Structure 1
């Protein structure tokens, strides 16, 4: 160690003087943990003391930090019962190394390799709960599991055309492989930062030198051939060190469904819901690729089918689906491929920043930023679906109001005409707000005053709406001009929200059928997400699969 026993005891005495007195009658022991206890460390390394008490109380996990003699000193406390529980939890989870907590493994490792300073008998009693040889096997298996995941993931990334990323995961798999091998020899310290010293102590210069050679030859900016060559060499080295389950067999990688991921299409737009909360909208190319997926197939076959879609470079798009957790990769006979790094963010799907496309949605689907987009909508999936249903329904109400205005003008019913105009304007504004994801909506009478919630480009619509809401009608009113003015306003709003192709709902049986089908597409999503339905009758439309309830079969 870089500190003598006397120096450690002095630091411990000074540290204990700074702490509260332990409970009277409690048996205590003290060990030195961490890199210095392992025989590593340098003048900047902190001093890690663990105080072990024979008490039934749970002692705090958070350390106390002291700054003594130019060093940082961390003092942790643990009861015998807590430490015994840690070792038991580790043993119980050892059969599934992929689920073992890194923090739990690290805590157990630090204690087992600690240097006793006080209460040696109590320290030995606690350490005896988990034999060191057993811990070596658990740690070696834990690293081996991660090495397999990283190397299989690197293989998949190469197939997907993501060569640079494949090199990074190959390097991660290489470190994990060597850490597994070293753990079997007793070098179980988890943090990779002391790997060079661990390899020096392992007594196998051939393994050490081969590792550093492979580390040094990792391509800096890899083309596919260089990345594959490096991965192949690392796979061979891993198998030489006893790592199983990593042959170069891309056909063993399969593309699988992720629980809780569902697909919904409205018009040409493909929407993918993740975990019933986040909604992703796919651009035209991304949507075509998504529709081509046949889950359960080997990755090479999925890529072959993707090539038939005409989408350029499908591999990187599939990689995006994978990163976002919309699909998963599995190794035949080996479960889901879940790569992870030590001392890093936990593995799991990425959640990108929300899309900035405005408006958020149209009656045909979510707005996207481009053909290869896999855009996260900036509001929860249930609110998105509710806003979309409100958008469709608002346009139905607009058509109904225009129909009412047409009849009122023909019969000279001017008060009816005024109310019909206001109803149409309010309904159109409801659609405008809904297209920007506003839900629940302001009251109709507040809509025109709440346009400051929307982008500045909607201001002309607000001005036009204000004029129409103030209009009056009487015997001298030009009814055709009023109808044209309202239709112009409706067209202005629909152009802004992508609803310019909305059917003239009450014009014919065909346009009503098209309206019902459009509404049904959105109702299916809304019902799946338990979103608020715009009207109660919508349940009947859903039950009838988009058909009228009394329609002859």
Structure 2
């Protein structure tokens, strides 16, 4: 299908010969059966003159109507080329251009700018007049200025983030963001000179086109030619960032470090901090559960809701403490407030703005104890359980241990009085509560019914499944057997040791132990309440207001 009457002579800097463009356009028209009046343009790296033999050949099909064309590209293999085709209607392209005109730099997305740039700088193949009429909505000089402002903002965000990380002692991460900011600063500089192709991988080709001998370009290439640590300036730790900030100033970005002394670190709004028996937990988005130990727990307790960066990095604060704060920042526990960039969320190529990191979860068999989460990382670990299951399993563990203790006393009293029916019931219940404790510690929630709980315990994939056999053996002992008490004592001792429970042991006869148990119960009830979960025994909610047993004087609680 030949459209010679509609053809537009491609500009001379395309990386495909005109004959090849025409041939591919004819093949494309036949393949897609395009209706008359449809415009076609070559876009992307070949239109820019950067493409090579392995590059896709990108075409834009423009329908002369207001239909909604799909965003997804079509991939074809025509002649010897892989051809990517995207389609848009006149109405869609017009809307996108007007969105760019109306939006501020912080409202624009990389994707929208990329789509508009590819269209505005595309090489018309058919129906060039239609393409030119659409382009009148956003003249190239105006688009270049908008794109430059967008890159300026991205460079400022990246370099400010690098400054913060460097202040917190995270030099390697700071250098990485400095490198990212250097690229963005040069994209800003290039966009001001009409080089607006968005894809960063072609930046060097854009700089070549602008004049590789320019001092600024040579300085950029000298800085980024190797890893920061390979250069003399980078080896000192802070030198690379200093050089990049100087590069950005020379590129025209003069306000990068303005307001540095007023930078804030704010605790994120989506967090819940919780402690059980002095173990610190941070719940993020009511979904992820982090267990903080050692210096991380101390560091988190020491932070206020808002603090200046200079307070955290003062001479009196050791490097380990600032390193912990940097980790809090990566995990999204803290946000950075820097003047107009609040919160400070830099962007990297082929990705969204920086988001909180989620590390691999702990692989421990036991996921929760009465003291909280169990993780296999020394400082900050992520529980394998989501927040609501963590809270519910921990609460079940607490109740199971408490009722295990109550039932143990029932058994002792029954044996003393030779009340064999009561002893039989108590022994059976002790085994059930032991199984509940161990399964809750594994994060099993809701728990299976008691009729199947021993079998369920035997189905665990870890060595704890062997405890099921001990439970069965205990249940088979006659209540008159002298072995019963010792067997149950050994079983309960092992379960409590493995499950991290046992805080209820002796609490019914020792006021100090009961006081400590009440504190643990109160912590778990508070957590479940904060997460909107039901509490099995509503009267336990009184612990949240009284702190302990309500009828005793405060000094006795």
TM-score after normalising by structure 2: 0.91
Change (3 A) 1:2 1:333: closer
Following the alignment from structure 1 to structure 2, what is the Cα–Cα distance between the partners of residues 150 and 503? Answer: 54
1:486 alignment partner, one of 485, 488, 503 = 488
Q: In the alignment, is residue 259 of structure 1 matched against residue 251 of structure 2?
A: no
Following the alignment from structure 1 to structure 2, what is the Cα–Cα distance between the partners of residues 104 and 365? Answer: 46
On the 8 A contact 1:520/1:545 being kept in 2, the answer is no
Following the alignment from structure 2 to structure 1, what is the Cα–Cα distance between the partners of residues 474 and 538? Answer: 30
Partner of 2:306, secondary structure, is coil
Following the alignment from structure 1 to structure 2, what is the Cα–Cα distance between the partners of residues 405 and 280? Answer: 39
Give matches, 1:31-430, under 5 Å: 31-93=41-103, 95=104, 97-203=105-211, 205-216=214-225, 218-220=227-229, 226-247=236-257, 251-304=261-314, 307=317, 313-344=320-351, 346-372=353-379, 374-430=380-436
Match of 1:447 in 2: 453
Q: In the alignment, is residue 535 of structure 1 matched against residue 541 of structure 2?
A: no
Partner of 2:408, secondary structure, is helix
Q: What's the CA shift for 1:165?
A: 2.2
Q: Which sits farther off after the overlay, 461-470 or 142-151?
A: 461-470
Which runs of no fewer than 5 residues in structure 2 stay unpaired?
A: 1-13
Change (3 A) 1:487 1:251: farther
Match of 2:11 in 1: none
Q: In the alignment, is residue 14 of structure 1 matched against residue 27 of structure 2?
A: yes
Change (3 A) 1:100 1:248: closer
Q: What's the CA shift for 1:385?
A: 0.3
Q: Which sits farther off after the overlay, 283-292 or 273-282?
A: 283-292
Change (3 A) 1:473 1:214: closer
**Partner deviation per Cα, 1:489-527 (whole Å, 9 max, x = no partner):** 221111111224444232144433322211110111111
Change (3 A) 1:48 1:370: closer
Q: State the Cα RMSD in Å.
A: 2.3
On the 8 A contact 1:358/1:367 being kept in 2, the answer is no
Q: Which sits farther off after the overlay, 356-365 or 339-348?
A: 339-348
**Partner deviation per Cα, 1:15-42 (whole Å, 9 max, x = no partner):** 11111343xxx63211111112123222
On the 8 A contact 2:331/2:357 being kept in 1, the answer is yes
Q: What's the CA shift for 1:149?
A: 1.4
2:509 alignment partner, one of 503, 507, 510 = 507
TM-score after normalising by structure 1: 0.91
On the 8 A contact 1:140/1:180 being kept in 2, the answer is yes
Q: In the alignment, is residue 3 of structure 1 matched against residue 3 of structure 2?
A: no
Q: What's the CA shift for 1:201?
A: 2.4
